[in-house]
Structure 1
Amino acid sequence: MEFRDNKAIYLQIIDYVFEQILLGKWCANEKISSVRDLAAQLEVNPNTVARSYEMLQNQEVIQNKRGIGFFVCANALEKIRNQRREEFKIRELPEIFRSIYLLGIDFDQLKEAYHDFINTINLQENENK
């Protein structure tokens, strides 16, 4: 994983966990990597992963089953999607709408571009299977 300088590493690890859940790589009630394993995989200090996992537990995205490990909460996907949608609407959508307006792009063009994007994603997923 390539870490960016503009965001704290523990927050980037949270984003990584969110992405794994959103992509369906980590499913509800499934055991996830231990703190040490994820730290080794990402080449970071275990304390950094522990901090990320603590925040994820507070958000009720993961839970620690003592002596067994960490698991994805049953409603984690829904929580993450809702949180990310709100962030997107507040932070990114206004700038996207501004660009659409300034460039004179109509919704039919957007719809076509979106469908092309989805088709590309589906083709890539089928090739990876």
Structure 2
Amino acid sequence: MTMHWNGDVPIYIQLYQQVIQRILDGNIKEGEALPSVRKVAAEYQLNPVTVSKAYQMLQDGQYVEKQRGKGLFVKSGAPHSILEKERASFLCTEWPLILQKISRLKLSVEELTRTSKENQ
């Protein structure tokens, strides 16, 4: 599998965000093991240190826990914790910018919902 990395954001952060998204989407479930550092490094052709940094961020956020000799596992309650954090982040940083753009473009709620339904 080939991954296209954004040159403006460190790869370890992008990898961290990808794991967060996979947990939120239910592709990695509570209690499930993350792929090993070596496996991810080989699959994406990354330095293992890069993968380790991303995994350390997941441990620092208390979303995964290390089980000695087995690897990293998604902690119970991690999807809920991630969802709460991501919602708060969205509402504080992204949503105000979206609202400004909607206002600047003079879009109505009806236009937004109609367009949203057409694109589903």
TM-score (norm 1): 0.84
Identify the match of residue 11 of structure 1 among 5, 10, 13: 13
| Secondary structure, counterpart of 2:38 in structure 1 | helix
Q: Which runs of 4+ in 1 moved over 4 A?
A: none
Identify the match of residue 110 of structure 1 among 89, 109, 112: 112
CA deviation digits over 1:47-96, x for unaligned, max 9?
Answer: 11111111111111111111111111111111211111122112211111
Instruction: Quote the residue 2:29 is aligned against.
Output: 27
- Aligned CA distance change for structure 1 residues 75 and 115 (closer, same or farther; 3 Å): farther
Instruction: Quote the residue 2:100 is aligned against.
Output: 98
One-letter amino acid of the structure 2 residue matched with residue 105 of structure 1: L
1:114 Cα deviation (Å)? 3.4
Is 1:69 aligned with 2:32? no
Q: Which has the higher contact order (CA 8 A, sep 6+)?
A: 2
Instruction: Quote the residue 1:88 is aligned against.
Output: 90
Structure with greater helix share of residues: 1
1:112 Cα deviation (Å)? 3.1
Structure 2: state its 5+ residue gaps: none
CA deviation digits over 1:5-57, x for unaligned, max 9?
Answer: 11111111100101111111100111120111111122111111111111111
- Aligned CA distance change for structure 1 residues 3 and 112 (closer, same or farther; 3 Å): same
CA deviation digits over 1:99-118, x for unaligned, max 9?
Answer: 1111121123223333444x
Distance across 1 between alignment mates of 2:108 and 2:37:
47
Q: Pairwise CA RMSD of aligned residues?
A: 1.4
Identity, % of aligned pairs?
Answer: 31
Distance across 1 between alignment mates of 2:34 and 2:24:
14
| Secondary structure, counterpart of 1:6 in structure 2 | coil
Instruction: Quote the residue 2:46 is aligned against.
Output: 44
